[in-house]
C-alpha cells in the first residue's frame, strides 16, 4: 500500500533530535514498522524551520515531507489551526501527482487538513485524535493530559466541534485507548467504525538485562520512579503526598528540563515546595531530563514505577517499565487500562486519591515475590501484545478495512458490512494476558 501519515505539528525527525513528545514517537515508530512491511510510507509534517529540506528519506524507507503552511518557525498549537487550509491544499496537489491508497491523520489539527487533501481523490481517511478536547468526561477543571498539544488549547469550542465533525465523517477512527474509543462513540461516531489499537514499546531497547550500575545511588530501602515532565496533569503531587505515608522509600522523577535547569522550572518548584510541606523533601529527587539510552537502567533500578497521570493517551511509560520487567502502579485512567493488567502486571488505583496510592505502594513493597511475578508477567504481556510490530499489524488491518471493497462483477453492489459489530481491532485489552 501507498500510505500517507499526516502529522501536522509532530515530526518523526524530532525523535532522533531529542525534542520528542508522545505523538512524535508514535508516528515515527508506526511509520518505520509499516515501511518494514514493504509499504510506501510518507509522513507529511509542517515545515517549522526554513533550513529544512523539502523531503528527507530515512534509512528504513520512510520519507518525511515538510509542508509549507504558515511561517517556517515553531508555533504554539492554538496558532496552527489558521494554517491547516494551506496544509490541506498542499496535500491535494501532492496527492494529485501520487495518490495514496490510505491517509492516516494524527491529532485534530492534522484532521483539519487531511480532508482537503483526500476529497478530490476519494482516498480513504483514518483519523486518530490521541487526545480529545470534546471528551464528554473531561474534568471540570480542564486537566486532561500532560501533553502540550492538549494543554495549550484545552477545551476550545472550535476544537471540540471539529473533533465531533471529523469523527463522524472520517472513514474509520482509530483510538489508542479504549477510553478514547468510548468517548468517540459517546460523541456520535458509530461504534462499527471505531477500532482500538493500544500503543507499543521497543522491547529490545527496554529490557530486563539493563545494567543499573550507573544509576543514581539509592538512599532508601525502596525506590519509586515516576517518568515524564512535571506538569499539572502528571499527578506527581499525588505521588509526593503518598510518599509521606510510605516509610523507607524514595521518589525519583525523571523528565522535564535538563538537570541544571530544574531549579528554575515552575512545576518542579511547586513539587519541591509540596515535598517540604509534606516532610519528604529529603526523599524526593527531581532528576530532570534523562538520556534515552539511560532510561532502561533507571527503570530497572526501581522497585515500582508510578504512573499517576489524571489521563494518559499513550501509555508509553507503563509499557517501558513492563518491558524492563518492573511492576507498575498506575491510575485507572486512559491508556493505563489497556496497558496494565490489574493484578497481573501491576495495580490500577483511582485517579486523584493519594491515600489509595499509598496503600497500594505499601502493599506491593511488602511483597517482593509478587513484584517479581508482576515484572515477569509485564515483560510477557509486552512481547505478546505491545511491540511496535504487533501495533503495526493491527493498524495495517484497520487500513485494509478502510479500503473500498470491489463490487462483485456479476451482482449489484451491497452495503459494506465488514465492520458491523467490530469495535476493537488490536493487540491487547483490559483482561490480562490474552
pLDDT tens digits along 288-344: 999 999 999 999 999 999 999 988 989 999 999 999 999 999 999 999 999 999 999
Whole-number pLDDT of residue 154: 45
Calpha distance 25→11 (Å, rounded): 9
Residue 20 pLDDT exceeds 90: no
Q: Which residues lie below 8 Å from residue 72, measured CB to CB, with a gap of 6+?
A: 47, 48, 49, 50, 52
Whole-number pLDDT of residue 151: 43
Report pLDDT digits (tens) over 237-293.
999 999 999 999 999 999 999 999 999 999 999 999 999 999 999 999 999 999 999
What does DSSP assign to residue 127? E
Report pLDDT digits (tens) over 117-176.
999 999 999 999 999 986 655 543 334 333 334 444 544 678 899 999 999 999 999 999
Question: 86: pLDDT confidence band, cut at 50, 70 and 90?
Answer: very high
The 3-state DSSP class for residue 19 equals coil
Which one is predicted more confidently, 18 or 431? Answer: 18
Question: What integer best gives the mean pLDDT of the chain?
Answer: 89
Whole-number pLDDT of residue 147: 39
Calpha distance 35→16 (Å, rounded): 18
Query: What domains are there in the chain, each with its CATH number?
Result: 2-196 (3.40.50.2000), 222-385 (3.40.50.2000)
Calpha distance 11→21 (Å, rounded): 10
Single pTM value for the model: 0.88
* Contact criterion met (CB below 8 Å) for 330 and 349: yes
CA dihedral 345, 348, 354, 358 (to 10 degrees): -40
Question: 19: pLDDT confidence band, cut at 50, 70 and 90?
Answer: low
Calpha distance 180→321 (Å, rounded): 23
Whole-number pLDDT of residue 430: 36
* Contact criterion met (CB below 8 Å) for 361 and 249: yes
Whole-number pLDDT of residue 172: 97
Whole-number pLDDT of residue 135: 65
Whole-number pLDDT of residue 410: 53
Percentage of the chain surpassing pLDDT 90?
80
Calpha distance 304→263 (Å, rounded): 26
Amino acid at each position: 500500500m501507498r500510505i500517507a501519515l499526516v502529522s501536522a505539528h509532530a515530526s518523526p525527525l524530532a525523535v532522533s533530535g531529542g525534542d520528542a513528545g508522545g505523538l512524535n514517537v508514535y508516528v515515527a515508530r508506526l511509520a518505520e514498522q509499516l515501511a518494514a512491511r514493504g509499504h510506501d510510507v510518507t509522513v507529511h509534517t509542517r515545515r517549522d524551520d526554513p533550513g529544512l529540506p523539502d523531503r528527507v528519506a530515512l534509512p528504513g524507507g520512510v520519507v518525511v515531507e515538510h509542508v509549507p503552511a504558515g511561517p517556517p518557525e515553531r508555533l504554539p498549537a492554538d496558532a496552527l489551526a489558521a494554517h491547516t487550509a494551506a496544509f490541506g491544499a498542499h496535500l491535494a496537489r501532492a496527492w494529485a501527482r501520487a495518490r495514496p491508497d490510505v491517509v492516516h491523520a494524527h491529532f485534530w489539527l492534522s484532521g483539519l487538513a487531511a480532508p482537503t487533501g483526500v476529497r478530490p481523490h476519494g482516498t480513504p481517511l483514518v483519523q486518530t485524535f490521541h487526545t480529545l478536547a470534546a471528551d464528554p468526561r473531561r474534568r471540570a477543571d480542564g486537566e486532561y493530559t500532560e501533553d502540550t498539544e492538549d494543554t495549550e488549547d484545552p477545551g476550545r469550542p472550535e476544537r471540540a466541534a471539529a473533533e465531533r465533525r471529523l469523527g463522524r465523517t472520517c472513514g474509520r477512527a482509530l483510538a489508542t485507548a479504549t477510553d478514547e474509543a468510548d468517548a468517540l462513540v459517546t460523541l456520535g461516531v458509530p461504534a462499527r467504525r471505531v477500532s482500538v489499537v493500544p500503543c507499543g514499546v521497543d522491547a529490545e531497547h527496554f529490557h530486563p538485562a539493563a545494567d543499573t550500575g550507573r544509576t543514581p545511588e539509592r538512599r532508601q530501602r525502596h525506590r519509586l520512579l515516576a517518568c515524564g515532565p512535571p506538569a499539572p496533569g502528571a499527578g506527581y503531587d499525588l505521588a509526593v503526598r503518598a510518599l509521606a505515608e510510605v516509610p523507607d522509600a524514595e521518589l525519583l522523577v525523571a523528565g522535564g528540563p535538563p538537570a541544571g535547569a530544574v531549579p528554575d522550572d515552575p512545576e518542579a518548584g511547586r513539587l519541591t515546595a509540596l515535598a517540604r510541606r509534606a516532610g519528604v523533601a529529603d526523599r524526593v529527587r527531581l532528576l530532570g531530563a534523562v538520556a534515552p539510552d539511560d532510561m532502561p537502567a533507571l527503570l530497572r533500578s526501581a522497585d515500582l514505577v508510578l504512573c499517576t497521570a489524571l489521563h494518559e493517551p499513550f501509555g508509553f511509560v507503563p509499557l517501558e517499565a513492563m518491558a524492563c520487567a518492573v511492576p507498575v502502579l498506575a491510575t485507572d485512567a486512559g491508556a493505563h487500562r489497556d496497558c496494565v493488567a490489574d493484578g497481573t502486571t501491576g495495580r490500577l488505583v483511582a485517579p486523584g486519591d493519594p491515600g489509595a496510592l499509598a496503600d497500594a505502594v505499601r502493599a506491593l513493597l511488602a511483597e517482593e515475590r509478587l513484584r517479581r511475578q508482576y515484572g515477569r508477567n509485564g515483560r510477557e504481556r509486552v512481547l505478546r501484545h505491545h511491540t511496535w510490530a504487533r501495533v503495526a499489524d493491527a493498524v495495517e488491518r484497520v487500513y485494509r478495512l478502510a479500503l473500498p471493497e470491489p463490487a462483485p462483477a456479476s451482482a449489484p453492489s451491497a452495503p459494506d458490512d465488514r465492520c458491523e459489530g467490530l469495535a476493537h481491532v488490536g493487540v491487547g485489552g483490559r483482561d490480562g494476558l490474552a
